[in-house]
Amino acid sequence: MAERGAVLFDLDGTLVDSAADLLHAANVLRARRGLEALAMGRFRPFVSRGARAMLGASLPGFAPEDESTLAEFLNVYAAAVAAHSCLFPGVAALLDAIETRGLRWGIVTNKAEGLARPLCEALGLLPRCAVLIGGDSLPQRKPHPMPLLEACRRIDAAPAASLYLGDDPRDIEAAHAAGLRGIAVDWGYFDPAHPPAAWGAQRVISAPLHVLDEPLLRERAV
């Protein structure tokens, strides 16, 4: 019998376009400090790198060890976590296709679980995904393989038969370390100077539905 596979996703920049809500939170902090609003073009490449990277791009002099400013940012963001966030075009159709094929899918993100859950709930993802692992759900986070391996364990999926889609080099590094097939997406928040083709992914896709020709999904086509 063939091993059971699953499709796992990163969240921000892969399934969900959350940049507008994160930029809003960053600009609230800038306004409190007498700074002009930051344009999306300057902010977007940092979204998938985490809150500290976003603050480093948004606030002059921000230090990664500044927990007070980090907490301020996260509190502002949490108050409107899904005000403008939405699924990327094609994601809804992909999730429908995965479920039609009788496969399970899940989310493995470095976003804190307490932020990821309300975002996913607001967008209708939470009742559908088989597993959700946040950045603080386990002792390790991506690029460590633990979150992907734990997600597979929880849904009884074989890592070697599973896919992981992400928009950051850490996603691909984690997939490789955990033994999943790492697929880079090019619609996310990556730095244009370091595009997905340079991450060592087994494949780069430019639209969600392109993943449907992967053997795991093609063999289940109905």
Domain at 7-17+85-218: CATH code: 3.40.50.1000
- pLDDT in single tens digits along all 222 residues of the chain: 458 999 999 999 999 999 999 999 999 999 999 999 999 999 999 998 899 999 999 999 999 999 999 999 999 999 999 999 999 999 999 999 999 999 999 999 999 999 999 999 999 999 999 999 999 999 999 999 999 999 999 999 999 999 999 999 999 999 999 999 999 999 999 888 999 999 999 999 999 999 999 999 987 655
Query: 3-state SS of 126-140?
Result: CCCCCCEECCCCCCC
Q: List the catalytic residue out of 10, 12, 21, 168.
A: 10
Give yes or no: 10 in active site: yes
Q: What is the pTM of this model?
A: 0.95
Q: Give 35-44's long-range contacts (Cβ < 8 A, gap of 24+).
A: 35/59, 35/60, 43/19, 44/19, 44/189
Contact by Cβ (8 Å): 85, 125: no
92 DSSP β-pair partners? none
Residue ranges matching CATH 3.40.50.1000 in the chain = 7-17+85-218
